[in-house]
Amino acid sequence: MISQGVQRARIRETKSARIRYQDHLSREWLWYGAPCRWRGRVELEFLEVPFAALEHAGSGMHHERVEYWLNKLHGGYPIAPPVACRTERSTMYLHDGNHRFEALRRFLGEDDHEASRIRVGVLVPQPGYRFSYRDFGTYGTYVLTYNRKPATSATLVLTLESAWSMGEEQQLVLCGQEG
């Protein structure tokens, strides 16, 4: 006799395993649908993440679009993995895929969707960039920002004066080169 909890886990694993993805569709969104200033500044890394880690963007929901994706899932057709960025709360904020998110939630079932894992295209910023939350008054979202902190003139002068007083070996270590 199989316990009800084990039986639910098997159903969940079966449903999650039946979901098919086409990564190239998410890559196309990054090229054609994402803000153009992201090009060359972010890459996609595909990961299996807990459904519970996804954070809906809170944008409008069109019932017909959710039904379209739900029919795709039930028919066994592949879908684009949702595209998300990591947040400071260790969640994944959806930039693309809110309707697929809702369809996946329904497809996996109300009781078991939180424990399921799904494939997500995670936006990975290039060095010097990061995603930061920005409130625009009527809505908020994560925007790609440049993370470089410019040195102040006082810091620069102090660094130059310190460098003049150092020997050549110490200057090389200061610049990240060891002699």
Q: Are strands 92-96 and 54-55 parallel, antiparallel or unpaired?
A: parallel
DSSP secondary structure of 15-55? HHHH--B-HHHHHHHHHHTS-GGGTTTEEEEEEEEEGGGEE
**Quick check: 128 and 145 in contact, CB under 8 A?**
no
pLDDT, position 15: 67
Per-domain residue ranges for the chain?
4-146, 149-179
Model confidence at 57, pLDDT cuts 50, 70, 90, reads confident
In the DSSP assignment, the letter for residue 94 is: E
Task: Please provide the CATH number assigned to the domain covering 4-146.
Answer: 3.90.1530.10
Torsion of CA 22, 35, 53, 110, to 10 degrees: -70
Q: Tell me the per-residue pLDDT of 93-111, one tens digit each, with 9 for 90 and over.
A: 999 999 999 999 999 886 6
* Digit-coded pLDDT (tens) for 133-170: 999 988 899 999 998 765 454 444 444 444 445 554 44
Q: Which two tokens stand for residue 178?
A: 């060891």
CB count within 10 Å of CB 54 equals 21
Does the pLDDT value for residue 81 go beyond 50? yes
Give the global pTM. Answer: 0.73
Q: Residue 31: name the closest of 136, 121, 100 by CA.
A: 121
Q: Are strands 83-86 and 140-146 parallel, antiparallel or unpaired?
A: unpaired
